[in-house]
Amino acid sequence: MPPNPDPREGGAPVPEPSASLNTHDSNVLEPRNPSRLQLEISEWHRVSPKYTTVQVIGNLLFFLVLVVVFAVIGVSGQLWAWIPDALAIIGLIVSLIITPRQVRAIGYQLREDDLVFRKGIMWQRIVAVPYGRMQLVDITRGPLARALGIADLKLVTAAAATGVSIPGLPNEDAENLRDHLVEVAETRRAGL
Q: For a pLDDT cut of 70, what percent of the chain falls above it?
A: 72
Q: Which of 99, 3, 16, 83 is nearest to 50 (CA)?
A: 99
Quote the mean pLDDT of the chain. 79
- pLDDT score of 67: 81
**DSSP letters of 9-44?**
GTTEEE--GGGGEEEEETTEEEES-TTS--TTTSPP
Q: For a pLDDT cut of 90, what percent of the chain falls above it?
A: 41
Band (157; pLDDT cuts 50, 70, 90): confident
64-114, pLDDT tens digit by residue? 888 888 777 777 666 776 788 788 889 889 999 999 999 999 999 998 888
pTM: 0.69
Q: What angle do CA 133, 127, 35 make, to 5 degrees?
A: 80
d(CA 114, CA 117): 10
- Map out the domains of the chain as residue ranges: 50-102, 108-190
CATH architecture of 108-190: Roll (2.30)
- pLDDT score of 8: 41
